[in-house]
């Protein structure tokens, strides 16, 4: 009995010692754990060593740690162990997407990795302007930064085939807008996006056409809209210009519009249309051919497409520039010739003013 009493007396001391050990272990665990957390967090959020904007390509099938190893090899990060530890306890950065990304100066590694996970690749802008033709667009593509020109050297017909268009030319099918693309995207993929938008627009507008039209197919609307686009950028005039062309087509008159002439001689045109150009017979010279030209002559805006399909109701058959950015419309050739003389007189006066300082 004495022994048992003695053990009972010692029990509280042993419990006290055991509690102290547990507290010490707990404190050490917290300290070590906190230090470990700080180590991992600091490593994942370290600043990438780059003093300028840098493009970095993540290869197809590349893992997070292989990506980090390349950054370390280029001395852009100090080490990958923290990221390796982090990947064991979290999948935040493990599901990376291939592509080319932008690293900005003093960018945290975590911010870069998040962009890679979300697939936020560096984007470049390519703008198709209202009234531009396919030759101008292809020339811009050839000069576009980081755009893979898979259309280079192809004839216009072959370009149309590459873009899955059943026409002799892709002219007129490119919706005017700014398109973003990633590094090494192909020109054909970019233009197919523009074609899809123009097709969608034309399809949506075609059922709502109204008025005494002389066009019976959507493609004819695209052709006429392209001519309207080149004749005026003033929204208020487009439907009136459309009415002139519809009136002329209805009465069997030739369109006689300079932009079609210019398009037909595009590669030799130097900025001034001459009498010889007007006499030159091409498939696009509407002074020499009846009806519409065989294809559009430019990329038309929505406003011009709407005008082609919804002409104003007028008795006009002629129009000429007024000299102030708009046009003068007339019913008869006599009125038109008078308006032309007034325009030429105004041009001469402006020229004299400039010459006289």
327-350: per-residue pLDDT in tens?
999 999 999 999 889 888 887 877
Per-residue confidence (pLDDT) for residue 133, from 0 to 100 = 98
Asked whether residue 24 carries a pLDDT value surpassing 60, the answer given is no
- Specify the pTM: 0.79
Per-residue confidence (pLDDT) for residue 348, from 0 to 100 = 81
Are 156 and 267 in contact, with CB atoms under 8 Å apart? no
Per-residue confidence (pLDDT) for residue 31, from 0 to 100 = 40
Beta bridge partners of 57: 100
Q: Which residue has the higher pLDDT, 169 or 272?
A: 169
Q: Which helix (H) or strand (E) holds 178?
A: strand 178-182
Mean pLDDT of the chain: 89
Sequential DSSP letters for 290-314: SSS-SS-SSPPPHHHHHHHHS----
* Dihedral sign computed on CA atoms, order 157, 158, 161, 165: negative
Asked whether residue 73 carries a pLDDT value surpassing 60, the answer given is yes
Rg (the chain; Cα; Å): 36
Are 336 and 248 in contact, with CB atoms under 8 Å apart? no
Asked whether residue 29 carries a pLDDT value surpassing 70, the answer given is no
Per-residue confidence (pLDDT) for residue 240, from 0 to 100 = 97
The residue ranges of every structural domain in the chain are: 54-118, 123-197, 204-355
pLDDT band at 170 (very low <50, low <70, confident <90, very high): very high
d(CA 106, CA 323): 55
Are 258 and 287 in contact, with CB atoms under 8 Å apart? no
pLDDT digits (tens, 9 = 90+) for 93-150: 989 999 999 999 999 999 999 999 999 999 999 999 999 999 999 999 999 989 999 9
Q: What share of the chain is helix, strand, coil (3-state, %, to 5)?
A: 50, 10, 40
Per-residue confidence (pLDDT) for residue 25, from 0 to 100 = 43
Are 144 and 127 in contact, with CB atoms under 8 Å apart? no
d(CA 12, CA 25): 20
d(CA 238, CA 229): 8
DSSP 108: B
Q: Which residue has the higher pLDDT, 123 or 353?
A: 123
pLDDT band at 30 (very low <50, low <70, confident <90, very high): very low
């Amino acid at each position: 009995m004495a022994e048992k009493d003695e053990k009972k007396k010692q029990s509280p001391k042993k419990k006290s010692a055991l509690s102290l050990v547990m507290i010490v272990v707990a404190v050490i665990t917290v300290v070590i754990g906190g230090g470990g957390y700080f180590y991992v967090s600091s490593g994942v959020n370290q600043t990438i060593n780059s003093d300028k904007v840098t493009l970095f390509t993540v290869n197809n099938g590349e893992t997070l740690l292989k990506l980090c190893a390349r950054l370390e090899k280029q001395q852009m990060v100090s080490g990958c162990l923290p990221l390796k530890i982090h990947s064991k306890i979290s999948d935040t950065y493990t599901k990376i997407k291939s592509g080319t990304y932008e690293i900005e100066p003093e960018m945290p590694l975590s911010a870069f990795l998040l962009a890679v996970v979300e697939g936020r690749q560096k984007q470049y802008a390519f703008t198709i302007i209202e009234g531009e033709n396919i030759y101008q667009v292809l020339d811009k593509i050839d000069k576009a930064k980081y755009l893979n020109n898979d259309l280079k050297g192809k004839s216009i017909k072959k370009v149309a085939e590459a873009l899955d268009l059943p026409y002799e030319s892709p002219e007129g099918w490119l919706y005017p807008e700014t398109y973003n693309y990633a590094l090494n995207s192909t020109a054909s993929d970019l233009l197919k996006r523009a074609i899809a938008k123009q097709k969608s627009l034309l399809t949506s507008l075609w059922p709502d056409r109204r008025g005494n039209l002389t066009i019976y197919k959507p493609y004819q609307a695209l052709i006429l809209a392209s001519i309207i686009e080149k004749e005026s950028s003033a929204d208020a005039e487009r439907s009136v210009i459309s009415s002139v062309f519809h009136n002329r087509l209805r009465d069997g008159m030739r369109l006689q519009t300079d932009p079609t002439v210019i398009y037909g001689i595009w590669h030799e045109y130097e900025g001034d249309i001459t009498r010889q150009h007007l006499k030159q017979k091409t498939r696009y010279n509407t002074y020499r051919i009846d009806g519409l030209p065989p294809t559009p002559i430019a990329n038309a805006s929505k406003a011009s497409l709407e005008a082609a399909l919804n002409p104003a109701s007028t008795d006009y058959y002629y129009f000429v520039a007024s000299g102030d950015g708009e046009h003068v419309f007339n019913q008869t050739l006599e009125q038109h010739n008078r308006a032309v003389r007034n325009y030429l007189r105004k041009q001469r006066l402006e020229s004299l003013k400039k010459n006289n300082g």
